[in-house]
Structure 1
Amino acid sequence: MGTRSIIRITGIGLLCLTLGACAPSYRNHGYMPPEDELNQIVVGVDTRASVEETVGPPGASGVVNGGGYYYVRSRMRTFAFRAPDEIDRQVLAISFDSAGVVSNIETFGLEKGQVVPLTRRVSDSAVSNKTFLRQLLGNIGRIGPSGLGG
């Protein structure tokens, strides 16, 4: 191989590395139970224990004052060497009555910075701690690189 061939191969390799760094990469953070598992939960029948058995327990920060269970999933996009951007966040809220029986299952997301319900099993919102839900969804874009572990 001549010097010209080595320079050409090196140039092509550097070009491939540069173009590869320009492609965005995506990462999901958190856990959202699959739809088929959620469909197994029956409002008015299932309890906290059966929900944990069916879809798994929420994260340690997902249990609020003995209230509902919250499952949070975020989608992060990293482009080249820039800090990651959170492009989507969904929250699943499973509410329980005073006896610990499922009273509502709702999925929330963000639209134009506002918390909006995406799906709801019961027509009336049973989420009792809406401030906590707004905090979960409202931090979109405010997570620094140090908060991405996990």
Structure 2
Amino acid sequence: MRTFAVLTLLAVSLAVAGCTATFRNHGYIPPEEDLQELVVGIDTRASVEDVVGSPTAGGVLEGGNYFYVRSTVRTYGPRRPQVVDRQVLAISFDENGVLSNIESFGLEDGRVVTLSRRVTDSNITNVSFLRQLLGNIGRIGPDFGEG
């Protein structure tokens, strides 16, 4: 009877632990104290990197703006992970590379952006898995074994 009680307690403990939400943090946002050191119109790209660190992402072109992104994702049991917090810090520069603006956005400021998926066609039609696996046997080129 005692073994049954221990096993039941263990099963209940595992079930409760499996339903506990877990949180993961991704990315980096510089602390407010570091941002206070930046002076619009004075600091340059190099001085911004020295003070707040390298950006998470830069602009598309060389010399673009800096973006710092931090997200918190909650996973609850078998449910799909959900982003519960996202902070984006955008640091803009003018054409001379001088700091022109610092903006901060939260998840509540954003909008849902549908990402398009690019799928490359595999160009494999009517070929079984076994044929794909064994298809290269005997195809040894003249440079085999050199190196």
TM-score (norm 1): 0.68
Tell me what 2:58 maps to: 62
Partners of 2:21 and 2:31 lie apart in 1 by 26
Aligned to 2:76: 79
Counterpart AA for 1:77: R
Residue of structure 2 aligned with 1:50, choices 29, 47, 51: 47
In structure 2, how many angstroms separate the alpha carbons of the residues matched to 1:95 and 1:138? 23
1:54 alignment partner, SS class: helix
Give the fraction of aligned pairs with identical amino acids, expressed as a percent.
50
In the aligned structure 2, how far is the partner of 1:93 from the partner of 1:110?
14
Counterparts of 1:51 and 1:84, CA distance in 2: 34
**Residue 62 of structure 1, CA deviation:** 2.8
The number of residues matched between the two structures is 114
Residue 139 of structure 1 and its aligned partner are, at CA, apart by: 4.3
Shift of 1:20: 1.1
Deviation at 1:67, TM superposition (A): 1.8
Question: Residue in 2 aligned with 1:19?
Answer: 16
| Unmatched segments (≥5 aa) in structure 2 | 116-147
CA offset digits 1:17-70 (Å, max 9, x no partner): 1111111111111111111111111111111011111111113x4333222101
d(CA) in 1 for partners of 2:84 and 2:46? 33
Q: Which runs of 4+ in 1 moved over 4 A?
A: none
After superposition, the C-alpha distances for 1:61-104 in whole angstroms (9 at most, x for unaligned) are 43332221011111100001222111222210000111111111
Which consecutive residues of structure 1, in runs of 5 or more, have no partner in the other structure?
Answer: 116-136, 143-150
Q: TM-score, normalised by structure 2?
A: 0.70
Mapping 1:86-125, distance limit 5 Å? 86-111=83-108, 115=110
Distance 1:49 1:38 in 2: 14
2:36 aligned partner: 39
Change (3 A) 1:20 1:139: farther
What RMSD over aligned residues (CA atoms) do the two structures have, in Å? 1.9
